[in-house]
Amino acid sequence: MPAKISGDGLKRKRVANKEKLKKRVKSESESEAESSGDESNDPQAEILLLENEILESKKHYNNISKLIQTTSTHEDEPEAATLACVALCRVFVRLLSAGALVPRKGLPEKEAVVVQWLKERYFEYKSVLVSLLAEEDLAPTMLTLALRCLKAEAQHLYEKEEYIFPQNFLEQIVAGLLGSDSDDARVEFVEKYLTQYDDIRFFTLKAIKALTETPGSLPHDELFDDAFALLSNIGSVPTELGNFYVEKPKKKSHNVNSLHQHKKQGQDAWLAVLKLAATREQRKQVLDVMSNEIAPWFIRPELLADFLTDSYDAGGSISLLALSGVFYLIKDVQPRLPVVLYKALLPSRQRDLALC
């Protein structure tokens, strides 16, 4: 079931980058200089010409490198960089669909070299898209292009006998979103992909776990804030699977086809994020949604014991919230409840709480 998206929850407070803004605002003198120049020098027309030539003949494949080079102008010429990224997306989707990036058996050496070169440029282009997710104004467009490429890659770049999802690419996209200045891109990812497609949700949960367990991948506070925002907006635990962004695995036994495995990925992702909750405010954020958003994902709810008891020991309002979570676990999973949770309810601990 799609989640109710909280735009505020996915937004990050940031200081406006005035220097960045200045770079993107042209002065009157610059505009006059441009208008007095060669009016036929239209970036859009040039980029479209390069794209059409690529699609017309292999002899123009070097235009791909020219378009990739154009994307590096995003600070001074964001419009041209965006147009180049869009053109490259169309080019690579066409090439992937045509099998141009897959080496066939018996392919002449010269053609095999071309295939390898195209694949290298494609991976270079993907890196460009991921890096531009950091740019506030460009990120929503880059996200759309990246997900289009991911779908085409899944459909055409790998052997079809076996199900392969480009999870490394998705992990790079998620990492880009977690480190992005763009709240809009994160909201769009949640609304259009994360809450809509079972496979995107499954591999995003795996990605969040991997990224939060990678030391130094992002600043600690930002990593918690953005990972928590994504997870808390992911929606309820799925009760059925049927909507896939790429093809559904043919094997019924595949993990992506398993409701149990989807729930386990949610549990593992939440456990990884809970380990990042170091401040009282972060613990409060977690405890506020513990019963409704977090605990339902847990196959083994007793794994929440350490977090709840540590939060209880924090004292004050945090202890009260943690105690509410303890009661929830006792009520729902009492047969498997660790002794450590019962200790939180001992008279001596209750007296401590009364003194908070």
pLDDT digits (tens, 9 = 90+) for 333-342: 554 555 555 5
Task: Write phi, then psi, for 330 (nearest 5 degrees).
Answer: -60, -40
Mean pLDDT of 274-286: 94
Report yes or no on 181 lying in a domain: yes
Three-state DSSP class for residue 261 = helix
| Domain edge (last residue) among 227, 249, 276 | 276
Contact 278, 270 (CB under 8 A): no
The gap from C-alpha 299 to its chain's centroid, in whole angstroms, comes to 24
Query: Is the pLDDT assigned to residue 297 strictly greater than 90?
Result: yes
d(CA 128, CA 116): 19
For 78, the enclosing helix (H) or strand (E) is: helix 78-97
Position 3 confidence tier, pLDDT thresholds 50, 70, 90: very low
Same domain, 152 and 183: no
d(CA 311, CA 297): 20
Same domain, 182 and 84: no
Contact 295, 235 (CB under 8 A): no
| Domain edge (last residue) among 248, 276, 304 | 276
Report yes or no on 22 lying in a domain: no
Report yes or no on 3 lying in a domain: no
Identify the domain containing residue 342 by its residue range: 281-355
- Give the number of domains in the chain: 3
d(CA 1, CA 3): 6
Q: CA gyration radius for the chain?
A: 25
Same domain, 258 and 333: no
Report yes or no on 38 lying in a domain: no
Mean pLDDT of 205-219: 86
Q: 198-212 vs 220-232: helix axis angle to the nearest 10? A: 160
Same domain, 264 and 340: no
pLDDT digits (tens, 9 = 90+) for 128-149: 999 999 999 999 999 999 999 9
pTM of the model: 0.84
Same domain, 257 and 290: no
